[in-house]
Chain A
Amino acid sequence: MPTQENNDDRIALLQGTLDILILKTLLLGPLHGQGVARSIQRQSEEVLFVDHGSLYLALQRLEDKDLIQAKWGVSENNRKARFYSLTAKGRAELLDKTSQWKRLTRAMGLILEPQGEEG
């Protein structure tokens, strides 16, 4: 696990990554905030932990950028919830950001791989 100092890096990293993760999660269909958090946690095999406060601000930010849209609705167990779904713009953004991310991780990998340290 990262040390204390690395915490800052992770948060900074999270800013960008959280947006992609949310967009990716919503690609499968509309979800409410808690669903998004659960889904990210589950899909990353509980490695990634989503700070709930930050999640909702990220959702608001994406909404303001017109990347996602929100609507109050009713969940399967009859609870009122705010459902988020991707917009066309959000879809394009996701594609763009995903390819960026892939290039970044590949580049990082090329540099880090020879030392064989990363698990």
Chain B
Amino acid sequence: MSRPKRSTEDFAEEVRAHLEFEADELRSEGLSAEEALRRAHVEFGSVRTAKERFYLRSRIQWLDSILRDLRYGVRSLFNSPGFAITAVLTLALGIGANTAVFSVMNAVLLRSLPVSDPTRLVYLHPSHAPYGTGTINSRETLSYAIYETLHDQHPGLADVIAYVPLSINKVAVRYGAQPEEAEGDMVSGTFFSGLGVKLPQGRGFTEQDEKDHASIAVISYNYWTRRFARNPDVLGTTLFVNGIAFTIVGISGEGFEGLEAGRSTDFWIPLQNRPELNAWGNPLDDGKTYATNPTWWCLRLIGRLAPDVSKQQAAAALNPLFQRAAYIGLGSPAAGEKAPTLSLEEARGFPGYSEEYGRPLRMLMAMVGFVLLIALTNVVMLLTARNAARQREFSMRLALGAGRRDLLRQLLAESLLLVTAGGALAWVFARMATRALASWAQIESSLAPDRTVLAFALGILFVAALIFGLAPLRIALAAGPALSLKTSAATSNADAGRSRGARIMVAFQMTLCVVLLVGAGLLIRTLRNLENTPLGFPVDGLVVFGVNPHVTSVPQGKAFYRELISKLRELPGVESVTVMQERIGSWSSDNSDMTVDGRLPDVPNGSSRTVRSNVAGPGFFTTLGVPVLAGRDFADSDTETSPHVGIINEQFARRFFPNRNPLGHMVGTNDGRYQMTVIGVVKDHKYRSIDEEPIPMAWYEYAQIPIAGRMEVELRVHGDPLAILPSARKVVQQIDPNLPLIKPMTQRAQYNLTISSQTLFARLAGFFGLLAVVLVATGLYGTLAYRVSRRTAEIGVRMALGAGRSQVVWMILRDSLFLTAVGIIAGVPLAFALGRALSSSLYGVQPLDALTYGIAILGVTLVAFIASAAPASRAASVDPLKALRTE
């Protein structure tokens, strides 16, 4: 046991005394007072050096005692492995879950782009696009004409950068012989220079490259690593994109994955203007590419604010230009049309993701926060119980001469060990959980933890260490040396105050547990509802893939699909085959107004005229299994030369042909240029996603419309749908060896993707609910077991005085049931609040769903029962004689 450290002052005092003694002696030998003092000093040598050596020595000693404390701590934790493992695991789960969710939230909502001076970058977002325009996202995408205008003249901005993907998913590329897929963007010449992205190898693009539509490409560091094994010789070689040759001229710096939200771009090429490389992989619209079509708003723009210009100033300067540019090629605004406006938004997180994931992520963050609170209180309770049980040990050590400071330092060392071990494990756990989260949320860009995430995790650990350090403080101060002299467990029992603290914590945990279970319950019921939503047709047995043939004319395209369909029909196991332009269940739809019998239909004030449309091949509804209510399905006999035919759904018929038979009427595009006769009415069904409501829809016949390009192929097969893919791939490559199957999957999987965020949300919430239950159960069990063991003597006395075993069991149970009741009473209103906040994420279930509350309350009560059962039965089996004799 080390004594309180000796101060340097005390040492200095001793040295001073020494010098005086020495001088005294020298004086008595006959020296003068002055000379005696001088000689004493000389003989001693440097006083300062002595002091320094003393100081240094005490430092080393201090370090030594810390090491001793840590060694002792490790030993004592090893002596109670149950406690140590529970505490470390609890911490790791709590902190790991928080770090993982925070990592994703950080990437999606908070993180700036990995470019130079990201705070000066702004997204250019439009609102009120003019009538007659089509957008990718009405609040994010702009036309090429607008880009051109702002590129030439951009007051308030230092640079304007345009970028657009070459495909909705991946684009066909070839490097060497093997066709494959990659994610590619077309970008303006200012892309790399304007963003400030470094290219350690090769070069980026210039304004001239953009003007020339230069056939050069920059590949990303990730693609370089994944596909080319970081071979530096890749510079100067050729990458074929949709069959067009591009020379690789640069490799982007590590960490830059492009600007596509949640994606990792593999390569960039300068903006092109050719049919093979249209924006989003779309077929030409009336012979126009994105660059020549003013009605297609499909580019994303990002700008860098000029020095000393605010977002508002720049927006004000840009808007007059923007409003003029918005109508280039469109004529003048219609009466009553709202003026389009441009707003600048800070480039932070993933654009567009904050709407879909922002709220769920914040809710998840709150939920894991609750889990963390439960985990922390659990460890505090465990620590308190353990330290209280060790009070005799502490008293003994105090009696043997240890200082309270030694004791406290000892306890702090143990806490530190727990936090360090828990933190290390939490980091491992968080990395794994983040990866799982990313794959579930379909985020391909890297979610590697950055400094913010690290700071977040360390922050939690610091708070944990502080709490765990303070918890034992009271114990260490309360333990007196006298305590060890008392021998009775009854007298050395924990005083009422401390057990009150534990009881409050248990009730608090119950409260949080109720809230988490209600939240998890609501979300899981939502998921069940979504999964069981009927789609309106038998989706099992369907498989879908995309093909993007290299065709230069419409007839060539039609011929390609005719050949493909007939060849696929011959495959064994294939029941029927059809094609469509927009893949169903992929979130996207082509929305526009349509003419009915030659004019835009009248609609009651305020209601929408919008119609969704798609282009479908022969036997489309038969293949899907959507019932045709009147008329017929598209057939092979519908060709370029036969009369134009179309099919509508019930909603269309009800809204635009009220009380009339729609068959035989004409419907057409909003400009009236393409007209078709309605030949069938089909039953409403889920088109874009599982959780949508049906709206009016119309289908064009694929062979008749003047568009050729990428289509989605749908097969209905016998047996496992995916088993057909190898032979389907062979068929496609017989026609064109360069064509990959694009995103092949079952139609069921495609629909499930539309609820992937809900699925993820519900699964995570369920997991956190379960985690909370497990943590609460261990916490309650630990506390109760400890209290029963402390009350063995008391129970013995009670039983000796005539208390029955059932009374003893009830005594223990009553206690935990009371705490549970308190927790539930506090938790239900809190769960109300959570349910209300969740309401926008719920589907087919009310925020105040009685069943969910019932199950949550039952669950918590059950947990309390189970956790109390073992301690209660132990209490009941106390032998009164033995219990009293041990005293």
Binding site for B on A (CB under 8 A): 32-35, 37-38, 51-53, 56-57, 60-61, 64, 75, 77, 79-82
Interface residue from A34, A35, A60 paired with B54 (Cβ < 8 Å): A60
Q: Is the CB of B57 within 8 A of A60?
A: yes
On whether the beta carbons of A57 and B18 are closer than 8 Å, the reply is: no
How far is the CB of B491 from the nearest CB of chain A, in Å?
A: 34
Task: Verify if B635 is at the interface (C-beta below 8 Å from A).
Answer: no
Q: A53: which B residues are within 8 A, CB to CB?
A: 44-46, 49-50, 53
Top 10 nearest A-B pairs by Cβ distance? A53-B50, A34-B21, A52-B44, A34-B18, A82-B14, A81-B17, A53-B45, A33-B18, A34-B22, A57-B53
Of the candidates A56, A80, A81, the one whose C-beta lies within 8 Å of that of B11 is A56
With a cutoff of 8 Å between Cβ atoms, the chain A residues found around residue B45 in the complex are 51-53
Interchain CA distance A92-B153 in the complex, whole Å: 95
**How many angstroms from the CA of A23 to the CA of B366 in the assembled complex?**
66
Report yes or no: A52 in contact with B18, Cβ–Cβ below 8 A: yes
**Do A75 and B50 touch across chains, with their CB atoms under 8 A apart?**
no
Q: When each residue 680-692 of chain B gets 1 if its CB lies under 8 Å from chain A and 0 otherwise, what string results?
A: 0000000000000
Beta-carbon contact of B49 and A81 below 8 Å: no
Please tell me if the beta carbons of A34 and B57 are within 8 angstroms of each other in the complex. no
Q: Does B499 contact A (CB under 8 A)?
A: no
Least CB distance, A73 to chain B, in whole angstroms: 11
Question: What are 30 A-B contacts defined by CB distance under 8 Å?
Answer: A32-B18, A32-B21, A33-B14, A33-B17, A33-B18, A34-B17, A34-B21, A34-B22, A37-B18, A51-B45, A53-B45, A53-B49, A53-B50, A53-B53, A56-B14, A56-B50, A60-B11, A60-B54, A64-B61, A77-B24, A79-B17, A79-B20, A80-B17, A81-B14, A81-B17, A81-B21, A82-B10, A82-B13, A82-B14, A82-B17
User: A80 — which chain B residues lie within 8 A by C-beta?
Assistant: 13, 17
User: Given the complex, which residues of B lie within 8 Å of A38, measured CB to CB?
Assistant: 25
Cα–Cα, bound, A56→B57 (Å): 12
Min CB distance A11 to B, Å, is 14
Q: Which residues of A contact B10 (CB under 8 A)?
A: 82
Q: Say which residue of A56, A75, A79 sits within 8 Å of B15 (CB atoms).
A: A56
Contact indicator A79/B46 (Cβ below 8 Å):
no
B355: Cβ under 8 A from any A Cβ: no
Evaluate contact between A32 and B61: CB separation under 8 angstroms: no
Binary contact track B1-14/A, C-beta < 8 Å → 1, others 0:
01000100011011
B contact residues around A77 at 8 Å (CB)? 24
Q: Shortest CB–CB separation between residue A46 and chain B, in angstroms?
A: 13
B residues sitting closer than 8 Å to A (CB atoms) are 2, 6, 10-11, 13-15, 17-18, 20-22, 24-25, 43-46, 49-50, 53-54, 57, 61
Identify which of A51, A56, A57, A61 gathers the most chain B CB atoms within 10 Å of its CB.
A56
Nearest-neighbour CB distance to chain A for B351, whole angstroms, equals 66
- The complex places the Cα of A80 from the Cα of B57 at a distance, in Å, of 25
Given A56-B50, A77-B24, 15 more pairs with CB closer than 8 A: A32-B17, A33-B17, A34-B17, A37-B18, A38-B25, A52-B44, A56-B18, A56-B54, A57-B57, A60-B11, A61-B57, A75-B21, A79-B21, A81-B17, A82-B14
Main secondary structure of the interface of A (DSSP, over half): helix
Say how far B2's CB is from chain A's closest CB, in angstroms.
Answer: 8
CB distance from A32 to the nearest CB of B (A): 7
Report the Cα distance A52→B44, complex, angstroms. Answer: 5
Q: Which residues of B contact A82 (CB under 8 A)?
A: 10, 13-14, 17
**Chain B residues whose CB sits within 8 angstroms of the CB of A32 once the complex forms:** 17-18, 21
CB-CB nearest in chain A for B23: A34
A79 to B14, CA, bound (A): 11
B864 to chain A, nearest CB (A): 53
Nearest CB of chain A from residue B531's CB, rounded to whole Å = 71
Chain B residues with CB under 8 A of A56? 11, 14-15, 18, 50, 54
A82 to B505, CA, bound (A): 52
A57 touches B50 (CB 8 A): yes
Which residues in A have their C-beta under 8 angstroms from that of B15? 56
Report the Cα distance A70→B660, complex, angstroms.
112
The residue among A51, A53, A80, A81 with the most chain B CB atoms within 10 A of its own CB is A53
B302 to chain A, nearest CB (A): 67
Nearest residue, chain B, Cβ from A57: B53
Quote the shortest CB–CB distance from B613 to chain A (angstroms).
89
A77 to B46, CA, bound (A): 26
| Complex alpha-carbon distance, A5 and B569, angstroms | 102
In the complex, chain B residues whose CB is within 8 Å of the CB of A81: 14, 17, 21
In whole angstroms, what is the CA distance A82 to B9 when docked? 13
Q: Complex: how many Å from CA A37 to CA B50?
A: 15
Would you give the shortest CB distance from A70 to chain B, in whole angstroms? Answer: 9
Report the bound CA distance from A64 to B11 in whole Å: 14
B126, chain A: closest CB distance, angstroms: 77
Nearest B residue to A33, CB-CB: B18
**Cα distance A56–B14 in the bound complex, in angstroms:** 9
Asked if residues A57 and B21 are in contact (CB atoms below 8 Å), the reply is no
A19 to chain B, nearest CB (A): 15
Among B15, B49, B61, chain A packs the most CB atoms within 10 A around the CB of B15
List residues of chain B with CB within 8 A of the CB of A51. 45
Residue of A nearest to B2 (CB): A64
User: Which residue on A lies nearest to B49, using beta carbons?
Assistant: A53
- Give bound CA distance, A84 to B25, whole Å: 20
The interface residues of chain B lying within 8 Å CB-to-CB of A34 are 17-18, 21-22, 25
Chain B: CB-nearest residue to A81: B17
Bound CA–CA A52/B11 (angstroms): 13
The chain A residue sitting closest to B6, CB to CB, is A60
Chain A residues near B11 (CB-CB < 8 A): 56, 60
Residues of A within 8 A of B43 (CB): 52
Chain A residues with CB under 8 A of B20: 79
Q: How far is the CA of A32 from the CA of B11 in the complex (A)?
A: 13
Tell me, in angstroms, the Cα distance from A91 to B494 when the chains sit together: 44
Q: For residue A82, which residue of chain B has the nearest CB?
A: B14
Scoring B18, B20, B25 by chain A CB atoms within 10 A of each residue's CB, the highest score goes to: B18
Distance of A73 Cα from B457 Cα, bound (Å): 54
Q: How far is the CB of A76 from chain B (nearest CB, A)?
A: 11
CA distance A100 to B154 in the complex (A): 93
- CA of A57 to CA of B13, assembled, Å: 14
Cβ–Cβ < 8 Å partners of A79 in chain B: 17, 20-21, 24
Chain B residue at smallest Cβ distance from A34: B21
Whose C-beta in chain A lies nearest to the C-beta of B1?
A66
Chain A nearest CB, measured from B61 CB (Å): 7
Chain A residue nearest to B45 (CB atoms) is: A53
Contacts of B13 in A (CB 8 A): 80, 82
Distance (whole angstroms) from the CB of B199 to the closest CB of chain A: 62
CB distance from B135 to the nearest CB of A (A): 80
What is the bound-complex CA distance between A57 and B15, given in angstroms?
A: 11
